[in-house]
Structure 1
């Protein structure tokens, strides 16, 4: 995945300017910077959810028939869970909506430590468990690029370790990870980008 000369505007204000990156299979980039520096905006732009005012984004080696937004997972601040559905029903919905298969759902819940909650309504989950449920989508639907916005938010020590395992396995399989975070995630062999002052 590469980006060159990205400029992003929101509300007629320039939020990001001159952003370039070049990531190969197995790379992980950690983006840091103060609140309001544009970390989340960068991830949303890379995901194809916000248009760049100028510059280019390219995925090399991806599916040439699919749009960039169909080849990324964006794990943002909102977990996207529906409280009236069970854990299993929530993950089943998202897996089907994102083009995955039912065969992956059990493995995904096991990987994030939620297999024992499968039949519980999502409304009773803790904040950390809701975050784990969102993480399960990374496993249940394979996509080459993971864009993670403060991925360790609300996770306990075990949750952070499981996230690290998922990222490690994804990178070993040739996946790419871009994470915006204030936390030290403890991942090895990282590239780093520091965004400037808040705007």
Structure 2
């Protein structure tokens, strides 16, 4: 899959929050999106996911056959999107059955995030970090080439951050794409960094969006 964003602009509450934003990602590539709260990081991910219409510009994908962009992606947002009354395993089984094209079994996916012991526990009983790991485990139960991650390391301890970095590395090695909005280092070796601050309408003058490779 190849993802192309061309001259994107976003308007919220009647005000443009960024403009003239472009990038392209190919198989195995990653992009980290940085900026202060309210700068538009989550809005950019929503545009890429097709949940928010851009004020200008377009997003398109190549080499995806008959599929649309939403059919090619997973989103992990600020909210974990889990059902508290269901167990960790049941939450993943629901996602697998809904999205189809299964990859790992739910218990195997939880084991990758160090949560095999919590598979039978209702999500409502889990800590914030554990719930975050269940949400990340959904990335593994269905194959999707594009991962859109909004602060994916939130509430994770150091060991879990390492597990997340390993998941993203394996996904990229298999040709997957990652776009991550973040305030902290994610261990995405060789990823490109996009500071959304440079695209706030008053400052956006067509500068190169990419800074140094992310560490």
For the aligned residue pairs, the C-alpha RMSD in angstroms reads 1.6
Q: State the match for 1:18 in structure 2.
A: 20
Q: Structure 2: how far apart are the matches of 1:57 and 1:100?
A: 25
Residue number in structure 2 paired with 1:85: 86
How do 1:19-98 residues align onto structure 2 when only pairs under 5 Å count? Answer: 19-62=21-64, 64-98=65-99
SS state at 2:62 partner: coil
Task: Work out whether residues 76 and 150 of structure 1, in 8 Å CA contact, stay in contact via their aligned partners in 2.
Answer: yes
Separation in structure 1 between the aligned mates of residue 140 and residue 56 of structure 2, nearest angstrom: 33
2:98 and 2:7 map into 1 onto residues whose CA distance is 33
Aligned to 2:179: 178
Q: Which moved more, 1:129-138 or 1:90-99?
A: 90-99
Distance in 2 separating the partners of 1:136 and 1:78: 14
Task: Report if the CA contact (8 A) 1:3-1:19 is conserved.
Answer: yes
Following superposition, the deviation at residue 102 of structure 1 comes to 8.1
Instruction: Please report the TM-score for the alignment, with normalisation by the length of structure 1.
Output: 0.94
String of CA shifts for 1:143-190, please: whole Å, max 9, x gaps: 000011011000011110110010000000000001110101222101
What residue number does 1:116 align with? 117
The TM-score normalised by the length of structure 2 is 0.88
Q: Secondary structure at the match of 2:197?
A: coil
1:4 aligns with 2:6: yes
Equivalence for 2:162: 161
User: Quick check: 1:9–1:53 contact (8 Å CA) kept in 2?
Assistant: yes
- What are the equivalent positions in structure 2 for 1:143-154 lying under 5 Å apart? 143-154=144-155
CA contact (8 A) 1:33 1:182 kept: yes
Cα drift, residue 136 of structure 1: 0.6
Separation in 2 of the partners of 1:137 and 1:6? 29
User: Is the 8 Å Cα contact of residues 115 and 130 (structure 2) preserved in structure 1?
Assistant: yes
Instruction: Give structure 1 stretches of 5+ with no counterpart.
Output: none
Instruction: Indicate conservation of the 8 Å contact 1:16/1:42, yes or no.
Output: no
Deviation at 1:106, TM superposition (A): 2.4
Distance in 1 of aligned mates of 2:21 and 2:183: 19
Shift of 1:103: 5.5
- The gaps in structure 2 that reach 5 residues or longer are 202-215
